[in-house]
Chains A and B, each alone.
Chain A
Amino acid sequence: MSETDLRVPSLAELFTSFASISIMGFGGVMPWAHWLAVEKRRWLTPQQFSSTVALCQTLPGANILNFAVITGRRFHGAAGAVVSVLALMIVPFFLVIGLASFYAAHSDMAGLPEAMRGVGAAGGGLVAAMAAKMAVSLDRHAFAYGAAAIAFIAVGVLRVPLLAAIFVLVPLLALHYRKQV
């Protein structure tokens, strides 16, 4: 697909598109964003999508929100960014509160708290699998794996405040990568 095949979405299309994928993803909306922006609507080439996601991952915050900001901005500036983020948040906001209210009203129902603990435990597994997939795509350097392991032990096991870990580890790595990149 070349850039000439691409279409520019209107603000309304940005809104309806992001709103429609917001409720599809369980444990992640990003695969749906790819399906929408690259395959179905043809807003972005696969390469544009990949480089946008890479940028999203280096920014703080939920990747999918950053994707909405950058993609909305690409087509309609600040208005596009705001519309895309709102579209992504509005339905899940009410849905998750509805689900939590339902749960609160029925938590005395036998088996429900145990069921939620099961879901929570599996949710932890999804996060672990994502960490593993990310680890596989790291540079094949003992240094990178060592840094990941130190971050894991510091924050996960020793519960060091996150900001402290980031401000110590990232500059140390930068000193190392200064010569490599």
Chain B
Amino acid sequence: MDSTDNDYLAMIAVFAVISLMAFGGVNAVLPEMHRQVVDLHRWVSDDTFTTLFAVAQAAPGPNLMVITLLGWHIGGFFGAFVTTAAGVVPSCTAAYIVSGLWMRHREKKWRNILKASMVPVTVGLVASGAFVIMITVADGNWRLMAVTVITALLVFFLRIHPLIPLVAAGVLGYFGVL
């Protein structure tokens, strides 16, 4: 896919804003990322988004690597570099600035009010990320939805190693069970 300079500027803007909104980590902004890159800008199809998310999940590393892959898909290595930098630099800069202020205002009341207010919203946002992944990946296939639900139950209640359901689901998919 050919990408113009305007596309790169738009990509930088989109991923920088998403990076700064990612309270609760990158999983919390998956719905927004999907809305931006699939619905609004149409940089990738629904199918490609799902595939890139799955590849990023299958690779080790910080869970924002889906941003790298979106950039790679849109504009090769340069695209990957652009989206990764756009996704990393703003939030890291914010972390650098805020951590200084945060330590200085450790005892202040506003800090604790803000913290208490952000946590429940974060939980809801992460859950919505999971929901959007399930709906997008399954695309109406109830067996794939069952994989999402069963994985969540096993990891939450039995505390099994996260790698086990990932590998098991990959194997089941490979042999056409899903």
Interface residues of A (CB under 8 A from B): 22-29, 54-66, 69-70, 73, 78, 81, 85, 88-89, 91-93, 95-97, 99-100, 103, 111-135, 138-139, 143-145, 147-152, 154-157, 159, 161-163, 165-166, 169-171, 173-174, 176-178, 180-181
In the A-B complex, list the 9 residue pairs whose CB atoms are closest, starting with the nearest: A125-B151, A61-B91, A151-B124, A156-B128, A92-B61, A118-B173, A120-B54, A124-B133, A123-B57
Q: Are B109 and A85 in contact (CB under 8 A)?
A: no
Q: Are B178 and A57 in contact (CB under 8 A)?
A: no
- How far does the alpha carbon of A14 sit from the alpha carbon of B168 in the complex, in Å? 35
Can you list 16 contacts pairing A with B, beta carbon distance less than 8 Å? A27-B63, A56-B95, A59-B99, A60-B20, A116-B51, A118-B171, A118-B172, A122-B148, A128-B149, A133-B156, A139-B116, A144-B119, A156-B130, A162-B32, A163-B21, A181-B112
Q: Are A114 and B176 in contact (CB under 8 A)?
A: yes
Q: Are B127 and A123 in contact (CB under 8 A)?
A: no
Chain A residues with CB below 8 A from B23, complex form: 58-60, 166
Chain A residues with CB below 8 A from B121, complex form: 147-148, 151, 165-166, 169-170, 173
Find the B residue at minimum CB distance from A56. Answer: B95
Q: Are A66 and B173 in contact (CB under 8 A)?
A: no
Q: Are B162 and A26 in contact (CB under 8 A)?
A: yes
- How far does the alpha carbon of A166 sit from the alpha carbon of B23 in the complex, in Å? 9
Chain B residues with CB below 8 A from A157, complex form: 128, 131
Contacts beyond the supplied A26-B60, A60-B19, A128-B131: 19 A-B pairs with Cβ under 8 Å: A28-B63, A58-B23, A61-B25, A61-B90, A61-B95, A69-B96, A99-B55, A115-B173, A116-B54, A122-B166, A124-B133, A126-B165, A130-B126, A139-B116, A156-B124, A162-B29, A169-B121, A173-B116, A181-B113
- How far does the alpha carbon of A29 sit from the alpha carbon of B59 in the complex, in Å? 12
The answer to the question of B147 belonging to the interface, with a C-beta cut-off of 8 Å to chain A, is yes
With A66-B92, A125-B165 in contact, is A120–B137 under 8 Å at CB? yes
Least Cβ distance of A30 to chain B in Å? 9
Q: Are B178 and A147 in contact (CB under 8 A)?
A: no
Q: Are A111 and B173 in contact (CB under 8 A)?
A: yes
